[in-house]
Amino acid sequence: MEYAMIRSSNSKCVATILLVIVLTIINCGEAKGREFRQSNTVFIRSSCSSTTYPKLCYTSLVKHAAFIQTNPVLLTGTALNVTLSSAKSTSAAMSTMARSGGLSGRDAAAMQDCMEVLADSVEELTKSIGEMSHLRTSNFEGTMSDVQTWVSAALTDDTTCTDGFQQTPSSVAEDVKTAVRGRVVEVAQLTSNALALINQLANGHP
């Protein structure tokens, strides 16, 4: 009987020790996971701090922190993809607004011009992303120079679009113009941030 009780007691001790070990491993894993996630977000926040619109930069990229980690190339590529997605959705929204009517004269002309330059912006951003996918140490300078040129051109296109709407009569289709201007301004800000991150990457390469 005593042997059985001792054996049972020893089994409970072993089980308790194993449980403590398992819990310790789990807690250590969770702590390391938190540290890993925190380092990713700190990297993104730090990188965004030197952009023109740091808050927008951070909020647009932090959701991709697990993918970006602390890799500046992935950060830059993600910023370009986020910008391209915004430009495409804005272009689609403008096309819908244009078909719905309600615009005439200078407003209609401004909308058409804006759609054309935004299409150019989409093309330039797409080229930049394609070029980034071929980035290597051996072609780094030439590739980054091309990307900087294309994204700078995209930013110019975005600005041209917003400027065109600012010059139209404020009394005509104001709600449409406000909606378009707001979306294009965000695209321009995302493009500006992407260009800043591209410049960071280019200047930080040894």
How far is C-alpha 195 from the chain's CA centre? 12
- What gap in Å lies between CA 45 and CA 174, rounded to an integer? 36
Cα–Cα distance measured from residue 135 to residue 152, given in angstroms and rounded to the nearest whole number: 18
Q: How confident is the model at residue 162 (pLDDT cuts 50, 70, 90)?
A: confident
- Over residues 114-148, the pLDDT tens digits come to 889 999 999 999 999 999 988 888 899 999 999 99
In Å, how far are 37, 57, 72, 120, 190 from 163, measured between CA atoms? 40, 23, 32, 16, 17
Distance CA 50, CA 203 (A): 13
Residue type for position 197:
L
Task: List alpha helices for 101-173, DSSP H.
Answer: 105-132, 140-166
pLDDT in tens, 27-64: 544 444 455 468 899 999 999 999 999 999 999 999 99
Residue 202's pLDDT band (cuts 50, 70, 90): very high
